[in-house]
Structure 1
């Protein structure tokens, strides 16, 4: 893609990730932080793949004068996500709707930051239309533990939803929160939709796709379609 962008003289957007910071020793994470990544861990194919993509992108910028933009995207949620994609928000919402226990890995004290999809889209558009290369953290600085996220899902869907603890996955980052000062300054961007407003919009979409339309879900007592 970088070669194609060079040939046709296109502006290139790399959607990188907060995973480049690994299990960060700096909190919150700023763009100048180099990260704490295990290069041979079970998550490294994703972490190091994105880090290498940033390296190649900047090499093309410096060596070939390619116009590039780099966004480091933090956890994003919203309608139209894959229901069973394994992401924590998708998992919790689908499990609560299906009357299954919410699976929390480890002690549930690890933190993440969740931004609604429309906020991310706005940030990407401002990045591409602006004159700053990046990298820019695009994420919501609101920080939630997994147990706090589970509580928000319970409050939104089913207060009686159970929580089931499971052994944590290897190299799971303990904390994740973006410092978005740079995006505020250079892009005039910050997220507008808090979790308690964005999550119900995602829940409505998941409910329709799991059960069919909402009216039938109500009349059938929430049986799976």
Structure 2
């Protein structure tokens, strides 16, 4: 056993980001507990890790207390796509708020360092572009997206109150649009939607006129950013933006996916959903300065890897 081996809890470890994080933590020689209720996560994302003696999979819902002994906690548990988090909005709020309280309580009891997977959605439909961490956001507190947006904002509040009141070692990362292998083909996210539609030669559905913008970060880059953040000094709590600052319109994304997939799909336009942000792009100057981190995988290369994953999955 390595001297540097840590015991690490990853909530939401069966999900898209969580499964990649579990794999990376194991590669670095850690003992990993993957916790998930598998509402949106998938056992298939982590099945290949079960033979590793330092990997343990636990079915649990973080809205209920948990008692384990670990050195670090990565709190990633929460449905992250509108289709899933709007399916049961009350449950989404409970996962964000009760889940944060339970994980913070655990971290306080065992004096563990804890990372919170926050989101760019805390900025809402932003009036400032690109979005720096100092921007407080423009969020509808009673809209159909509020269960996620306001739930994550409340979780950030809880993390900083535990930091101030109990001197807890916290890290709050605001994650922008991320894509790559292990995405759920039915999660309703724009990249997975477009790829599945393109590979099946079905019309690609764009909501609105396609001029709204997003920034897409490949999953390997995002995980590297999270790990650098967690390894940084305890004085750097965040929040810190983690995402790719290169901006694309949704129409540009659709056309690139059609081209890379060799698809015959057409493009159709539907009304824009309520409270859908018009633009989203992270200001990552803080991550560059404090973590020496910035994304390295371009959209074309990342989409090629993701399309290959979905080709194998659909086959």
Deviation at 1:179, TM superposition (A): 0.3
What residue is the counterpart of 1:3 in the other structure? 105
Q: Which runs of 5+ in 1 are unaligned?
A: 212-225
Aligned with 2:226: secondary structure?
helix
Tell me which residue corresponds to 1:178. 282
Please state whether the residue corresponding to 2:248 is helix, strand or coil. strand
SS at match of 1:103: strand
Contact 2:201 2:263 in 1 (8 A): no
Equivalent runs, 1:162-177 vs 2, <5 Å: 162-177=266-281
**Conserved in 1, the CA contact under 8 Å of 2:173 and 2:240?**
yes
Equivalent residue, structure 2, for 1:129? 231
Please say if 1:144 is aligned against 2:248.
yes
Q: Which aligned segments of 4 or more residues in structure 1 are displaced greater than 6 angstroms?
A: none
Matched, 1:103 2:205: yes
Q: 1:49 aligns with which of 151, 157, 163?
A: 151
Aligned equivalents of 1:101, 1:152: Cα separation in 2: 14
Aligned residues: 211
TM-score normalised by structure 1 residue count: 0.93
By how many angstroms is 1:159 displaced? 5.0
In the other structure, the counterpart of 1:18 is 120
State the alpha-carbon separation in 2 of the partners of residues 134 and 89 from structure 1: 28
RMSD: 0.6
Q: Equivalents in 2 of 1:197, 1:106: separation in Å? A: 27
Counterparts of 1:66-77 in structure 2, within 5 Å, are: 66-77=168-179
**How much has 1:84 moved relative to structure 2?**
1.1
Q: More relative contact order in 1 or in 2 (CA 8 Å, sep 6+)?
A: 1
Structure-2 residue corresponding to 1:223: none
Deviations 1:193-216 (A, max 9, x none): 0100110100001000101xxxxx
What residue number does 1:217 align with?
A: none
